[in-house]
Structure 1
Amino acid sequence: MVELRDDDSDWSPAMIIKEMVEENEKSFIVRYCDGKFLVKSGIATVDSRKVRPRQPLVSLGEYELLDHVEVFDGSLWRRGVVRGILTLEGRYMVSFWGAKSAWQFSYSDLRPLMEWEDGIWQKRPKSKSGSFGKCYSRKRKRVEVEDCPDHNQNDTGNVLNANVFLLSLFLGLC
């Protein structure tokens, strides 16, 4: 199993069917599905820069405000920033690039943001600024919290959905 980059720099699960090399350029034929399991699925030939292995499991402990993370959102790993911590519920408020609001996610739906470079997983250094803007002071306005049932599942909801998604991809149901 691998992850396939879409146009928005999100990563979705995929399976390599065949590896091809033409003129020293590597490409892959992959099987992929979207979160609806039927709407956008199929087989595609993609450049090697759009494919990476699945990120290794990393036990991080707890995330801090403004940590850059990836969130499993339905069928994609999306980049986000931790904007709030709901300590008693074990949940995090995460906003995505270009969004003014934040959504709740369980700890089990988050993973540290890592980059696949030269065949090695590189941890992103902890930074309180970066692609999502400057470090905010206490005077920062509160973000609007969306109450979206798809994003506010129980602790195992998205992990279970990810496993069902991967199983259906493997079995060729997509």
Structure 2
Amino acid sequence: MVEWSAKMNKTEPVWVPAMFIKEMKENDKTKYVVRFCNGNLGCKGIEARRNVTTEYLPTVRPRPPPFPVEELQSMVCVDVFHNGAWRQGRVTEILPRKWYTVRLHGSNNLELSTNLSNIRPSKVWKHGVWKSRGQGLVKKMCASMMNANESVTPSPGITATMADKTLARDQISLGKDKQDNTRKRKRDLPCVLLPFEKKLPIWKTFESMEVVKHLQPEDPISSLTSLSDSFAELEKYGFDVKRPVLRISKLLSLRDKQANKTEELKGAQNVTAEKESVKVENQRKILELHRLNQEVDKEIAQSKSCEAMIVQQLQRVKLQYQATASAPW
């Protein structure tokens, strides 16, 4: 299996999985026939020919070996498999469950989200050796992975396009010797795991939960008491434990004060809550009295209206009385 280089948008290099078919000579130039592959497995059955000479950067290279990667850091250079080809990009965001957001190079800042299975370290095939394009990979490599050969010997046809055959053999041999020495050193190194870091966005959601907010650390009183008993036992055998015992006694005293102040705070909070409830009840009563006053005002207005009507009627009765009394007999 090999990879064939193409140009996307005339600027972005991409590597398409392919299968090496044969080598041929035309006009003193070496040409190759490769068959494009669908993804990482089956091939489409389409053959394409591209000129490859030793004066230019080869457009055909071996398929990179698997590089064990457990997770990626932000802003690391990677290759991402997208639309049937490996494209160069940079990790811009770390998502949960080993998903990442990658910004592709030369694609107007196009970003896509994909999982770790579609991402690999960005490597350069140079003089028969794979070299890293960027740093920042976090690897978990056990003994079996350390013993794996990290270089791939290209097919004779591909080697011929990169340089002279004798020079290529010398370079590959030198690269293998260096890699053997590196593997010998790695066998003596233990597997190192990086410390746990809360980088995933899910931690923000987790820490915002009400259940987590009210979690309290373990009470250290029992631990302090146990230490005090241990120092008392050591003192019986002549050890000078005065300073640590004083420190523990002070811690216990401060812990008691803290507990007392906590109880006082709870009492003050209860009193405040009680007064607040009394205030709310008084406000409720005030609103009720205000409502009653409004109803009484309405009744007073109605009574005054009735009073004015009666006064008018009384005036009419007086006028009738006077008219009747002054009339001739």
TM-score range, shorter chain: 0.5 to 0.7
Pair 61,89 (structure 1): closer, same or farther in 2 beyond 3 Å: closer
Equivalent pair of 1:5/1:11 in contact (CA under 8 Å): yes
Separation (CA, whole Å) in 2 of partners of 1:25 and 1:32: 22
Specify which of 53, 58, 61 is matched with residue 67 of structure 2: 58
Pair 103,75 (structure 1): closer, same or farther in 2 beyond 3 Å: same
* Structure 2 match to 1:169: none
Separation (CA, whole Å) in 1 of partners of 2:37 and 2:69: 29
Give the TM-score normalised by structure 1: 0.62
Separation (CA, whole Å) in 1 of partners of 2:47 and 2:30: 20
Separation (CA, whole Å) in 2 of partners of 1:84 and 1:125: 17
- Secondary structure of residue in 2 paired with 1:108: helix
2:69 matches 1:70? no
Question: What is the number of residues matched between the two proteins?
Answer: 124
Give the TM-score normalised by structure 2: 0.34
* Structure 2 match to 1:10: 14
Instruction: List gaps (5 residues or longer) in structure 1.
Output: 128-174
Superposition deviation, residue 90 in structure 1: 1.6
Equivalent pair of 2:122/2:134 in contact (CA under 8 Å): no
Equivalent pair of 1:68/1:113 in contact (CA under 8 Å): yes
Question: Within 5 Å, which residues of 2 pair with 1:37-116?
Answer: 41-47=46-52, 49-86=58-95, 88-98=96-106, 99-116=108-125
Superposition deviation, residue 34 in structure 1: 6.7
Equivalent pair of 1:33/1:42 in contact (CA under 8 Å): no
Equivalent pair of 1:30/1:46 in contact (CA under 8 Å): no
* Structure 2 match to 1:27: 31
* Structure 1 match to 2:221: none
Higher share of residues assigned helix = 2
Deviation sequence 1:43-94 (CA, Å, 0-9, x none): 32331600001100001221111100001113100101000000x2320000
Q: Aligned AA for 1:19? A: E
Pair 119,74 (structure 1): closer, same or farther in 2 beyond 3 Å: same
Separation (CA, whole Å) in 2 of partners of 1:11 and 1:20: 22
- Secondary structure of residue in 2 paired with 1:89: coil
Pair 122,23 (structure 1): closer, same or farther in 2 beyond 3 Å: farther
Q: Aligned AA for 2:31? A: S
Q: Aligned AA for 2:47? A: G
Larger Rg belongs to: 2
Superposition deviation, residue 25 in structure 1: 4.8
Equivalent pair of 1:82/1:92 in contact (CA under 8 Å): yes
